[in-house]
A and B are shown apart, each in its own frame.
Chain A
Amino acid sequence: DARVTQTPRHKVTEMGQEVTMRCQPILGHNTVFWYRQTMMQGLELLAYFRNRAPLDDSGMPKDRFSAEMPDATLATLKIQPSEPRDSAVYFCASGPAGTGPLGYTFGSGTRLTVV
């Protein structure tokens, strides 16, 4: 089965350090999403891309977060500097054009702990 690959699976870092999370969408999927999940807030949409162009990043704290798609096979989410409140599970999802959520596949997530 095709899958969305996220790396690393787990990351522990100290406050103030830069964190980069990576996502390899399913080949041929042109829509990529970044979500953050915490106990209190649930799954929150941070940003999404279509054909590598950012369409909406209104859910993302702009001062420290950035999301990019350097090419069609890689999406990155960067936090600089990281803070303890950024501790969460970060999910990437991808989908093909025109399917809506029925075609979305989630990655296994990156569990980030900032100490």
Chain B
Amino acid sequence: GQNIDQPTEMTATEGAIVQINCTYQTSGFNGLFWYQQHAGEAPTFLSYNVLDGLEEKGRFSSFLSRSKGYSYLLLKELQMKDSASYLCAVFTGGGNKLTFGTGTQLKVEL
């Protein structure tokens, strides 16, 4: 089976940097994906990693270490609109499955 862990909640200050961690145990790993979900809305794709290392995309970056089963999402220059749930998801290509963690609720404060 799959096991994906991420913190339930985090709070950060506007303008700061926050790192949201995700650890996973899975078989048939084929990529790790990060989604953002605002309350009452659908998840939207943010970033992904297939190989080890850092992927940067504007204010958002994601890191992956496959040997450690570990990823993080880094959000820079936080804005109030970044307050949302951030979902870590593992893609297992053999079964074409995208399995989600329970999400980290990020609250950005003034």
Chain A positions near chain B (C-beta within 8 angstroms): 31, 33, 35, 40-45, 48, 50, 55-56, 91, 100-102, 104, 106-109
Contacts and interface: CB of A to CB of B under 8 A. Distances in A.
Contacts of B100: 35, 42-45
Contact-residue size bin, chain B (C-beta under 8 Å from the other chain): 20 to 34
Interface of B: 30-31, 33, 41-45, 48, 87, 89, 91, 93, 95-103
A91 B42 contact: yes
Given A55-B96, A56-B97, A100-B31, A43 B43 contact: yes
Contacts of A45: 97-100
19 contacts: A35-B100, A40-B102, A42-B100, A42-B102, A42-B103, A43-B43, A45-B98, A45-B100, A48-B96, A48-B97, A50-B96, A56-B97, A100-B93, A101-B48, A101-B89, A101-B91, A104-B98, A108-B42, A109-B42
